[in-house]
Amino acid sequence: MKDIALKDLLEAGCHFGHKSQKWHPKASKFIYQKKEGIHIIDLVKTRDGMRKAGERVKTLALEGKVLLVVATKRQAKGIVTEMVKNAGIPYMTNRWVGGFITNWEEVKKNIDKVNMMKKEKEEGGWQKFPKHEQVKLDKDLRKLELVYGGVAQLTSIPDAVFIIDIKKEDICLKEVRQKDIVSVAIVDTNSNPDLVHYVIPANDDAVGSIQFIAKYIIDAYVEGRNILKKQEKGKDEIKNPTILSTGKNEEIKTDKIASEQNVKDENRKKEEEVKSDSSKAKGKGVKKEVNKKKAVEKTKTNTKKKTSK
């Protein structure tokens, strides 16, 4: 995980709390001072909270556990939705569904319904219905996707929840506490930090503050998940050494075939050279014999001429 600079937190606006009239007494532990009627948050404690929360989230990812991100407030939903979609993390940014955790069995039916309708639509199962029926089904699917689209891949309740603004997401926090699920949250000066396991004291209204902290937490989870994937891949290779050595064996076989082919080519060249040398030698021998015969015939003719005279 990257280091957190106090300057970056300051530039993101993480230090601005709420008006002093709206503060929660238990938030005093991370309030630095009051300035012009507004509480200023101690950024050193914000950084410490981010580090602890990041380490916990990374550990959860290494253990193969599921993190759910909840950010339904107007300032947060757009930027958070984009980040979690890219990271492949379950999220709820439209509205919190009451009983999502405490009444999971019933909620799961709606999630299964969304997945079934999407599958039927993709496979052309709606083609048998009249046009007006298809339009109605599509409308119903869009409504369900607005609520359950971000959690469509969940098969059980999440192991941890990252909440932005626990005052707005009070029902979500109650359900999380009831099921004793790990909670990580951005907590402003108007909220009770004792309700959360891993508190990140910071401004939960400024877009810059939300974006900076959410990115850090999401990146920590993705980092842990990537390490887990590498570890699992290494275990599979140890269990199945044939998979690991397949590529090497193929290379060895290829090299062996190539070397054998080279040897064959060299032997063929040598044989051709020997043949050519022998053919040349034979040609020279034939020429010599012909010359000898010509010489003998010449001597014979010369002797005949002499005797005739």
Q: What is the pLDDT of residues 131-142, one digit of tens each?
A: 999 899 999 999
Of 227, 221, 231, the C-alpha closest to 60 is 221
In this predicted structure, the answer to whether residue 13 has a pLDDT above a threshold of 80 is: yes
The H or E element spanning position 92 is: strand 91-92
- Residue 268 and residue 264: Cα distance in Å, rounded? 6
Give the integer Cα–Cα distance in Å for 283 and 71: 97
Question: Pick the residue with more confidence: 43 or 242?
Answer: 43
pLDDT of residue 210: 95
Higher pLDDT, 303 or 3: 3
Please tell me the distance from the alpha carbon of residue 174 to that of residue 102, in angstroms, as a whole number: 10
| Confidence bin at 62 (pLDDT 50/70/90) | very high
Q: What amino acid occupies position 277?
A: D
CA distances from 232 to 153, 241, 242, 248, 290 (A): 21, 14, 17, 21, 84
At 229, which amino acid appears? K
Domains, the chain, with CATH or none:
6-101+157-239 (3.40.50.10490)
Please state the rounded mean pLDDT for residues 149-156. 92
* pLDDT over 60 (residue 284): no
What is the C-alpha separation between 185 and 294, in angstroms, rounded?
115
pLDDT at 102: 94
Identify any residues that bridge with 41 across adjacent strands, giving them in sequence order.
Answer: 31
309 confidence band (pLDDT: 50, 70, 90):
very low
Let me know how many helices (H) and strands (E) the chain has, helices first. Answer: 8, 8
Does pLDDT of 269 surpass 80? no
Residue 244 in tokens? 């690991």
242 — pLDDT class (breaks 50, 70, 90): low
Q: Give pLDDT, residue 2.
A: 81
Model's pTM, two decimal places? Answer: 0.74
The values of phi and psi at residue 32, to 5°, are -80, -50
